[in-house]
Amino acid sequence: MVDRWFRGPALSRPEGRLPAAGAGETGDSPPGAGGEKAAGGAPAEAGREPAGGGSETATPPPGEREPGEDPGQPDGQTGDSGGEPAWDPGEDGAMRLVEDLLGLLAAGDPQALAAFLEGRTWQPVDAAGAGEILFLFHDYLDAGRVEVRLLAAYRDELSSQYDFGLFETRDGRERVLPVHVLYRSEPPQVVLSSVLLNQGPWVRAFMSRFLDLLRAGDAAALARFLTVDDLDYPEELAQQVIDRYAAETAVDTLAFQYDGFGPLEYRSGQVEGPTIFRFTITGRDAGGGPLEHPVAVVVGDGLMGLQDPWVPHPPGP
C-alpha cells in the first residue's frame, strides 16, 4: 500500500557512451519538459529518455547458450568482443537477459516472473507485484508481436548499461517500452529497469489508496499521500480535495478503471511521450448520475504522483 509518493533509486547514466550496433556516435539529447504537472510537481511529460541514436534494425539474435548459463550473472569471463570487464557479459548477454524477460512476460506466470526478477530490480517484486506488471504489460504490448532492439550502450569503469526497446506496431503506429540492463562491478551486479518494473507493481494500489483516503475524509493522511520528497503537500489543500470530491460525487460509490499507459514512441534517437498511466474514476455524481472523471498517475525520475484537475498544485518552494 502506497502512503506517499513513491520514489525508487534513480538509475544514473554512466559516462563513456558506447554506440549501439550500427549506430553513429551522436550525443544524447536532453530530456523533454513541459506538460501539465501532477500534484506535487512531477512532470506529466517525463518520458523522453536519451537513447543515443540507436539502430532502427533489430539486433541479430545471439547464438545458443550453454546449458545452465545465466545471461544475467557474469561468470568471470570477458564479453564476446574481448573488451568487456569480467562483470559485464556484453551486448549479447544483455540481449539474452531481455529476451528471457520477454519470454516470462509472454508466459504470464507471476510466480516465475517474480523468481526471475529477484535481486535484479531496484525494488523487490513479489508474486502480487509481478501480477501487476503482467497486467500492465499485456494491456500495452502484444508479446507475440514484440521486436527487441538495442538502442544504445554506455560504460564507465564501474558499470555498463544497455538500453533496449520492446517495439510493437498498433493501429499503424509504433510504440515502445524501454528496458535497461545495468551491469555493475559491485552488488547488485545486474539490475533490470523499466517503468513497468520500477513503478508498475504499485500503480493500481496508488489509485486504490487515493480513493480510500477520499472515503475516509482524512486530510492529514491525504496530504502525506500527495507529498513528494521534502515538498510537503499542505493539509488545507488536501481538505479542499476532499471537499471538492464530496461536492461533485457520491464518494462511497467511487471506483476506477484502467485506461492504459503512454504510449511511448521512438523518434530521432529518443524515447518520447508521456510516462503516465491513465485512469477514469467512476461511480455516481452528487446528483446520482453516472460519473466519469479522467485522472492519471504520472511517473518520472523515480516519482509517482497524481494528475487530477480536482487536486490543486501546492505552492512552489
pLDDT of residue 86: 83
Structural domain includes residue 246: yes
- Check residue 144 and report its DSSP letter: G
Residues 1-42 pLDDT 10s: 233 333 333 222 333 333 333 332 222 322 222 334 455 433
pLDDT in tens, 192-215: 999 999 999 999 999 999 999 999
Report yes or no on 227 lying in a domain. Answer: yes
Q: CA-CA distances (angstroms) from residue 282 to 65, 99, 139, 225, 294?
A: 50, 38, 20, 21, 9
Residue 9 is assigned to a structural domain of this protein: no
Q: Which pLDDT tens digit goes with each residue over 35-94? A: 344 554 333 333 333 333 333 333 333 333 333 344 444 333 334 445 667 888 999 999
Same domain as 176, residue 96: yes
Q: For 224-277, write each residue's pLDDT tens digit.
A: 999 977 788 999 999 999 999 999 999 999 999 999 999 999 998 899 999 999
> Which grid cell sits at 222?
491525504
Q: Is residue 208 domain-shared with residue 195, that is, in the same domain?
A: no
pLDDT at 306 over 70: yes
- The CATH number assigned to the domain holding 99 equals 3.10.450
For residue 164, what is the enclosing H or E element? Answer: strand 159-170
Question: Pick from 148, 169, 201: which residue ends a domain?
Answer: 201
Residues with Cβ within 8 Å of residue 287, at least 6 apart in sequence: none
